[in-house]
Amino acid sequence: MGYGALLTAAAFLFLFTLGIAARGAIGGDVFVVGAIGFVIAVVSLFVFMPILQMLTNALLTEEGTFSPFTFVEKLFSDRLWSLRCLTEGSRCGVAWNSLFLAVLVGIISTLLGLAFALVATRTGFPFRRTLRALTVLPIITPAFVIGLAVILLFGLSGVFTQAWATLFDTQPTRWVYGLPGLLIAQSLAFTPIAFLVLIAVVEGVSPSLNEAPQTLRASR
């Protein structure tokens, strides 16, 4: 609809939040109410609207009409739930692939987060503050930046891919465009979250619980 419609919608939004603040919401703070309204509008526009659009398209038939049976048919299709990879050697359904990826990412990110938490709390690592600061970066960095970084490093023309091909005289491949690339990107994205959760757990465990078995000649 153009920038004029966007400006008009923003003006109506802030007029609406101004009216809510005038009625005493959040102590009548216009700035806070406007900020909350802006955040809700942005999340609705970029998160809930695409989801609503996707669900709407799932109800459309090939003729362009709405039918709940079409949604049920798509929801339980073999493309989502097929297990032919176990019997025929073909690909599994998308849902099983997503579940497999989630389990792998959960295990890897938890182990890495625990390792970093132990390094930051139980060792004399000299750059512990820097480590804590670096773990926050993937959280505030947009997801597409992590994906772009993986492609630029390990893609067909990536730095590491070209360096590997030059050193070992091999042909570059597209190995990162699949499960390995998704695994790397998701692990980088969720390891900091696991670290922030586990470091609080590790700090809550008294070091005396580790020292007690060592006095009984137990290993670290």
Angle, helices 94-122 vs 179-204, to 10°: value is 40
Res 186 pLDDT > 80: yes
Distance (Å, whole) CA 16 – CA 41: 12
Q: What is the mean pLDDT of residues 104-111?
A: 95
Quote the tokens at residue 77: 């299709």
Res 15 pLDDT > 90: yes
Of 36, 6, 5, which Cα lies nearest the Cα of 20?
36
Res 142 pLDDT > 80: no
Give whichever of 58-62, 102-106, 118-122, 182-186 has the largest mean pLDDT. Answer: 102-106
**pLDDT reported for residue 18:** 93
For 21-44, write each residue's pLDDT tens digit: 998 888 888 999 999 999 999 998
pLDDT interval class at 54 (50, 70, 90): confident
Give the Å distances, CA to CA, from 167 to 74, 162, 176, 180. 48, 9, 19, 22
Distance (Å, whole) CA 134 – CA 153: 19
The CATH architecture to which 84-215 belongs is Orthogonal Bundle (1.10)
C-alpha neighbours within 13 Å on the C-beta side of residue 198: 21
Q: What is the mean pLDDT of residues 60-82?
A: 82
Res 79 pLDDT > 90: no
pLDDT interval class at 173 (50, 70, 90): confident
Q: Could you state, in order of their start, the residue ranges of all structural domains in the chain?
A: 3-76, 84-215
